[in-house]
Structure 1
Amino acid sequence: MSFKELVKNRRSIKKYETDSHVDDEAVKEAIELAAYAPNHGMREPWRVIWVKKDRIAEYAALFGEHSFKNDADKRQKHIDTVSKLGGILIIAGPIDRRQKQHLEDVLAVGGYMQTLSLALFDMGIGSCIKSPGSMFDPGLNEALNIKDNESIHGFVYLTDLPDDIEDKPRKNLNLLTEF
């Protein structure tokens, strides 16, 4: 697939109706390939925590415990849904208190995560980036070994690609203005 086709055809896969399995070697290759995403000053302000398929139910229970503390039904629904994933990649990185460097880090991590999504799609793996508010929960961060000087930037859900990926035309294609 050409780069142009890859960019135009990749979609976030948000339906997890069947039990998914992903190729671990392809995931590892995508993680490594995405590290070549452009980032300011070669800061590379990310690390990846990989929740593989065999640990996904355990992770789903942990996440549900911190995200749906007072709602057992929502917690169980979350566990049932997430347990169908082929894995999850948790993207974490340092928190730089300097404003300019922090912005550069956030932009670099976003570039990494988007490049990762493209690489996964190219390898036949569906993905969806998630950034729930509970990613800031101190208990969840502690359980995931997120250090005091770090933050979770997002989660990348891994799943099978459906046979029919819906075409979603872009609304904002008239981006260019001249100075």
Structure 2
Amino acid sequence: MTDRAALTDSPVSPAEAAALIRGRRTIDRFKTDEVPDMALVHEAIELARWAPNHHTTEPWRFCLIGERTKAGIIELNTRLLTASKGAQVAEAKRERWQSMPGWLAVTCTPNDDPITAREDYAACACAIENLMLYLHSAGVGTKWASGAVTREPEFLELLDAGPGEYCVGLIWYGYAQRRPRSQRQAVENIVRTLD
């Protein structure tokens, strides 16, 4: 086995990193108490921005969502769902969304070059994963939502997004009421070894 210290200055072992990555799950039910330490959320954002991004474009923007904006998003989503799936579904979703304790959104700045734009989206996704892993390490669960409401112009207006900016994810965070189990397919099903 190779001496890890000779290869990297990582402060965690591979086993610790693996446990952190495998342990992070999408939380679908949160306790009602909010995360009291907003410094923790700010630190998660600070670490999110260390995600890889080609040409150091830093395309991500983070929006901490307060009660007024949260209410506007819930109202918008309720209107959309009432029109597409009916009042009963919309009201159930409204109740569920109102119970989400912490809210933030990650948007991506526009780029006219299609290759850079694609790389910027990927960079934002990496930033979200950094954010979620850090919060998980502190005992805070997350859910990354990217439903139809996040693509609505009115949603972007609520976030005070700049021209061409679009939402990569609406992130809910808080303490898990339950931690779901998850499985992944076998590695040999997803790896091609080429000569």
Q: TM-score range by the shorter chain?
A: 0.7 to 0.9
Q: Percent identity?
A: 23
Question: Unpaired segments of 5 or more residues in structure 1?
Answer: none
Are the structure 2 counterparts of residues 63 and 117 from structure 1 closer, same or farther at C-alpha, using a change threshold of 3 Å?
Answer: farther
Q: Please say if 1:34 is aligned against 2:48.
A: yes
Q: Please say if 1:177 is aligned against 2:190.
A: no
Q: Distance in 2 between matches of 1:140 and 1:57?
A: 10
CA RMSD of aligned residues (A): 2.2
Q: Distance in 2 between matches of 1:14 and 1:168?
A: 12
TM-score normalised by the chain length of structure 1: 0.86
Residues paired across the two proteins, number: 176
For each residue in 1:92-125, what CA deviation from the matched residue of structure 2 results, as whole angstroms up to 9, or x when unmatched?
A: 1212121110111011011111111111101111
Question: Unpaired segments of 5 or more residues in structure 2?
Answer: 1-11
TM-score normalised by the chain length of structure 2: 0.79
What are the residue-to-residue correspondences of 1:42-81 with 2, within 5 Å? 42-52=56-66, 54-55=67-68, 58-70=71-83, 71-81=86-96
SS of 2:63's partner is: strand
Are the structure 2 counterparts of residues 6 and 63 from structure 1 closer, same or farther at C-alpha, using a change threshold of 3 Å?
Answer: farther
Are the structure 2 counterparts of residues 37 and 166 from structure 1 closer, same or farther at C-alpha, using a change threshold of 3 Å?
Answer: same
Which residue number in structure 2 is paired with residue 84 of structure 1?
99
Are the structure 2 counterparts of residues 104 and 38 from structure 1 closer, same or farther at C-alpha, using a change threshold of 3 Å?
Answer: same
Which residue number in structure 2 is paired with residue 133 of structure 1?
148
Match of 1:104 among 119, 122, 138: 119
Q: Distance in 1 between matches of 2:149 and 2:73?
A: 13
Q: Distance in 2 between matches of 1:118 and 1:127?
A: 9
Which residue number in structure 2 is paired with residue 144 of structure 1?
159
Match of 1:24 among 23, 38, 44: 38
Which residue number in structure 1 is paired with residue 8 of structure 2?
none
On the 8 A contact 1:60/1:83 being kept in 2, the answer is: no
